[in-house]
Amino acid sequence: MYSAFELYAGGKLIGSRGHLPPNASPDWDRDLVVRVPPEAVSTDGSLVLALRVWGGPEAVTSRWGGGVYGDTLWLGDYFTLASEDFKTALAPMFMAALFLLSALFSFYVYSRSASLLSYLWFALLSSALALYCYSLSDLRFMVPLDFVTYEKIEYASVCFVAPLLVRTVWSILDVELTAFMRALTIACAGLGAALAVVPGLEINFGAIDIFRVFAAVLVYQYLQTIYGAWRAGDDKAFIFIVGSLVFITTSVHDLFVTLLFDVAPGKMLSMYGFFSLVVCMAVLLSRQYAAVLDNLGELVNERTQQLRDANSRLARHAREDALTQLLNRRGFQESAEQIIANVQAQGSTLSLILCDVDHFKRINDRYGHAVGDRVLQHLARHLGLNIRDVDILGRWGGEEFILVLPDLSLSGAQTLAQRLCDSLPSQIFRIDGIRLGLTMTFGVAQWRQGDTLESLIARADVALYEGKTRGRCQVVSERPNVAQGALS
């Protein structure tokens, strides 16, 4: 009852809520279960109960009147009434705990990724709902705050719930707030802040009609938005529609029925409506989080593939000559040593050709290094087009090229080298109006049992040098006695 009372049985005070004047202190919306002492019952079995009531400040009596509201008094077994009272107080406390856990989890998720803004709004909404449900439970007085403070928490939290609900739903549906809705949510939050900081309860009673207008407009915009999203094919909106059925029913009950038909304000149902919406939001946010994880997995796979590709490019560049795109010295050595190991294991043979561009220094000195680079690129293409697929071609350094020819004897390698040598003088290389005749000198050697790549190249280099001293543009094979000497 409003706003404080004293209960007498048989003329004796047995319980009270708040304090009556002159030291008046309101304390309504809280059940009181007391024992009726046996001596309060008269000898004829009659029991006289009396209430002494303070209606409260003018703001209360002018708004709701004074005295009792709803079902005022129950007489029965003490333990039955006390347990029922505890169950009534436990329900909103349980809901407050659920909302608090939801808020803490959402804050944690948002702290892990600030891009998940929906979780921030959901966490703030759940926090406000936790405060609201906590303020509805008589168990709230386990924390020793005065009644006025708890009333302010209740009113202010409801005012904050409305705009936070809008921001959360709009964020989940990925809808931009209009200027009108942004102003309305700020005004509603400002009203909640005013209720929290302005002393006394008079502002609470005066602001209730303003909040009801704000809430009605926000609910209308909320329904219009989710309906528009549903019509646009957003499946998330349908889940909101389901949760909104409970939410709208309980909100109408609390905003209008309890205020117009003198139902006890302690019997608020909106916390269950909010809970239905929070469950819907939790489902949608979990789907959103799952989508984020899927996208993250795809991004990780994509980045992993990019890293593999980058590593492949690095490995290729480490083995490839940037100018000619042939194997460089390192790449050629790795490939050639692998082929030699296979030849040795299989008992087959291979040959090697080392060739050099004739008078290349003159080309660089006369026409510049850019023309010299073009010459090397042309010769790399020419050599590559005239060898087998199994042959290995690389740039050994400067103007030298090197070939490994698996399963090819010395005579076969000499025939190939001669064909390459003869094909060049008949070609005229043109670049930027310059006409160049190119020739190359070739040194040929065959692998022998016990050879290393270095010893094989050394014999080919000796043959190449001999070709240079003979006048260039020719093929020289290793001498048999040189090969035998290499064995010794």
pLDDT of the residue at 416: 96
Q: Do domains 88-297 and 329-487 have the same CATH topology?
A: no
> Which of 246, 230, 249 is closest to 238 using CA atoms?
230
Bridge partners, residue 5, by sequence:
17, 53
**pLDDT string in tens for the chain (488-residue length):** 788 999 999 999 999 998 999 898 888 878 889 999 999 999 899 999 999 999 888 777 877 777 777 667 888 999 999 998 888 889 889 889 988 988 898 898 888 877 788 889 888 988 998 998 899 888 888 888 888 899 899 999 989 988 998 898 888 888 888 999 999 999 999 999 999 999 988 888 888 888 888 888 888 888 888 888 888 888 777 777 777 777 777 777 776 665 555 455 456 677 777 777 778 777 877 777 777 778 878 888 888 888 888 888 787 778 899 899 999 999 999 999 999 999 999 989 999 999 999 999 999 999 999 999 999 999 999 999 999 999 999 999 999 999 999 999 999 999 999 999 999 987 888 887 888 889 999 999 999 988 999 999 999 999 999 999 999 999 999 986 544 444 32
Count of beta carbons in the 10 Å neighbourhood of residue 109 = 18
pLDDT of the residue at 453: 94
Whether residue 166 contacts residue 185, with contact meaning beta carbons closer than 8 Å, is answered with: yes
pLDDT of the residue at 481: 54
> Domain 329-487, what fold?
Alpha-Beta Plaits (3.30.70)
Count of beta carbons in the 10 Å neighbourhood of residue 481 = 8
The pTM of the full predicted model, rounded to 2 decimals, is 0.60
Number of continuous H segments (helices) and E segments (strands) in the chain? 15, 10
Bridge partners, residue 13, by sequence:
8
pLDDT of the residue at 55: 87
- Tell me: domain 88-297, CATH 1.10.3470, correct? no
Whether residue 352 contacts residue 445, with contact meaning beta carbons closer than 8 Å, is answered with: yes
Q: What are residue 429's phi and psi, to 5 degrees?
A: -95, 125
Q: How far is residue 44's CA from residue 413's CA, in Å, rounded to a whole number?
A: 134
3-state secondary structure of 1: coil
pLDDT of the residue at 351: 96
Q: What is the DSSP string of 301-333?
A: HHHHHHHHHHHHHHHHHHHB-TTT-SB-HHHHH
Return the H-helix or E-strand segment holding 239. helix 235-252
Interstrand relation of 440-446 and 475-477 (parallel, antiparallel or unpaired): parallel
Domain range annotation of the chain: 4-64, 88-297, 329-487
Q: Who contacts 452 (Cβ-Cβ below 8 Å, separation ≥6)?
A: 340
Which residues participate in catalysis according to the annotation? Answer: 399
